[in-house]
């Protein structure tokens, strides 16, 4: 008798209910990319060290290469593809990354943006040092850190002003 390692996975991704079947050993990044075709989330180190795979799970940042896909069952996932608003209007963080040239090769950008959204939401943007600390789990091999911090700071100020 052959044992199957396949299980159903039901999640809400970018406000859209999705159901698929995954291997019980699959990580969330693999399910998003391979099963659901959401390739914006990047698979970098596959060990939770670089932050390229950062997504939001129930509004909290998660390194999706370290989370089993089945652990996300029934939860709400936001990927880089889900940040833009109606009509493709960019999220303030996405827009500031463009305006501040906060990327070079772009590989780390989706994870950086998702982490920045969480950093702002968590209220960790009161100073440059605080932004650096709370964004430190995301590596940029091109060293665009100065621009990334500027983008996070500007987006935070804009989002705060808009919420008043």
Domain 6-82 class, CATH top level: alpha beta
Q: The whole model's pTM is what? A: 0.93
Yes or no: say if 151 and 99 are a contact pair by the CB < 8 Å rule: yes
Tell whether the model's pLDDT for residue 164 goes beyond 60. Answer: no
Please tell me the distance from the alpha carbon of residue 108 to that of residue 153, in angstroms, as a whole number.
18
Domain 86-162 class, CATH top level: mainly alpha
Tell me the pLDDT tens digit for each residue of 14-49: 999 999 999 999 999 999 999 999 999 999 999 999
Q: What count of Cα atoms within 13 Å lies in the side-chain half-sphere of residue 58? A: 5
Tell me the pLDDT tens digit for each residue of 85-134: 889 999 999 999 999 999 889 999 999 999 999 999 999 999 999 999 99
Q: What phi, psi does 112 have (nearest 5°)?
A: -65, -45
Please tell me the distance from the alpha carbon of residue 50 to that of residue 63, in angstroms, as a whole number.
9
Place of tokens 């999640």: 11
- Quick one: pLDDT at residue 2? 62
Residue extents of the structural domains in the chain = 6-82, 86-162
């Amino acid at each position: 008798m052959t044992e199957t390692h396949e299980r159903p996975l039901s999640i809400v991704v970018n406000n859209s209910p999705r159901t698929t079947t995954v291997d019980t050993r699959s990580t969330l990044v693999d399910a998003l990319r391979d099963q659901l075709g959401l390739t914006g989330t990047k698979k970098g180190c596959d060990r939770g060290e670089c932050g390229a795979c950062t997504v939001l799970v129930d509004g909290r940042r998660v390194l999706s290469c370290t989370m089993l896909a089945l652990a996300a069952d029934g939860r709400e996932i936001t990927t880089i593809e889900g940040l833009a608003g109606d009509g493709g209007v960019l999220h303030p963080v996405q827009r500031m990354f463009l305006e501040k040239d906060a990327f070079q090769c772009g590989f780390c950008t989706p994870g950086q943006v998702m982490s920045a959204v969480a950093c702002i939401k968590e209220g960790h943007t009161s100073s440059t040092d605080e932004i650096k600390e709370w964004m430190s789990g995301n590596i940029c091999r091109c060293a665009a850190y100065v621009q990334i911090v500027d983008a996070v700071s500007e987006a935070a100020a804009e989002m705060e002003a808009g919420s008043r």
